[in-house]
Structure 1
Amino acid sequence: MSTARPYAPGPGEPPIGQVRRLRLTGAGGAVPRARDFARTALGDWGWLPAYTAGQRAAAEDVLLVVSELVTNACLHAGGPDELRLRLAAELVRVEVSDLGAGDPAPRTPHRAARPGGHGMFIVQRLCLRWGVERAQDTPGKTVWAELGASR
């Protein structure tokens, strides 16, 4: 699991606060498109290629969380509208917006042998924090998760 600690970017490193957006409305293949987009962003931000096992695990955690959140939007909310990745001090925030009314929650009790229903359990286990923000004047929500880097 990833953890966060204070971090200041060095020369040539991406600026903290950078945001990448990918529109997914009506697009087929949302999950692989989102993973490819996230992989490119992680490469641009210096998370990939990973040079240590910890760096590799942190990048793989981000890609897995992107897959889980986009998949949940596809299965339970009529599909995702947008994926946003935000680079913060030593962490990445993953945000997936959709028009769904329901709130995601880990299935309880969690049973590893049961098929399906593991997405939010995985997100909960891998992330420092996660939550849901409701849109103000429009239907829908943004499900977000924050993951720390390993340097």
Structure 2
Amino acid sequence: MSTTRACPPPDGPGPEVEGGASAGLPPAGGGQARRLRLVGVSGAVPLSRDFTRQALRDWGWLPAATADHRAAAEDVLLVVSELVTNACLHADGPEELRVSQAGKTLRLEVSDLGAGTPAPRTPHRAGRPGGHGMFIVQRLCLDWGVQRREGETGKTVWAELAAPS
């Protein structure tokens, strides 16, 4: 897993979603995508989870047919929570959440204006409070990383998870 591997940006700007409603936009390579603007939003973490949960419903991940499908959906919601929480705590808040699905991969992206680089705390100390977010992301995801904005402050932290089989 990488914290610095760049990933190509998605095609096009996509729709802006207000108030938690969802709108679709195909991601690069086909599939489905949703965007949620989070600038100045109160309760960004639960709003992001609800938004992602609705996308998972619309895309057939929920309601889960099996325990494995339910676990996959719960992993997605946990990773969304961790990425948005990190943007709230360490980057003056998130700007946008993008959720996309192409083939057997679900991609989460959280953009913010922060200059820092998220990384799992090393060594990981399971018994201590706090500092577990990126460790959780690293453990649950196929891959994750940070895409810096060229010539600007800010970044997009992205994570990819496998769709249930």
User: Normalization by structure 1: what TM-score?
Assistant: 0.88
Give the alignment's Cα RMSD to 1 decimal: 1.0
Secondary structure in 2 matching 1:57 = helix
Q: State, as a whole percentage, how many aligned pairs show the same letter.
A: 74
User: Highest relative contact order (Cα 8 Å, sep 6+), 1 or 2?
Assistant: 1
Equivalent residue in structure 1 for 2:81, among 67, 70, 81: 67
Deviation at 1:17, TM superposition (A): 2.3
Whole-Å Cα distance in 2 between the matches of residues 61 and 88 of structure 1?
17
Cα distance per residue 1:8-40 (max 9 Å; x no partner): xxxxxxx74211000000101000000000000
Q: Which amino acid aligns with 1:82?
A: E
Deviation at 1:99, TM superposition (A): 0.1
- Equivalence for 1:6: none
Secondary structure in 1 matching 2:71 = helix
- Equivalence for 1:8: none
Runs of 4 or more consecutive aligned structure 1 residues displaced over 6 Å after TM superposition: none
Deviation at 1:117, TM superposition (A): 0.2
Whole-Å Cα distance in 2 between the matches of residues 44 and 80 of structure 1?
24
Equivalent residue pairs, number: 137
Whole-Å Cα distance in 1 between the matches of residues 150 and 139 of structure 2?
29
Whole-Å Cα distance in 1 between the matches of residues 102 and 127 of structure 2?
36
| Pairs within 5 Å for 1:110-121 | 110-121=124-135
- Equivalence for 1:11: none
Secondary structure in 1 matching 2:52 = helix
Equivalent residue in structure 2 for 1:52, among 23, 42, 66: 66
Deviation at 1:136, TM superposition (A): 1.8
Matched, 1:30 2:44: yes
Equivalent residue in structure 1 for 2:120, among 100, 106, 112: 106
- Equivalence for 1:148: 162
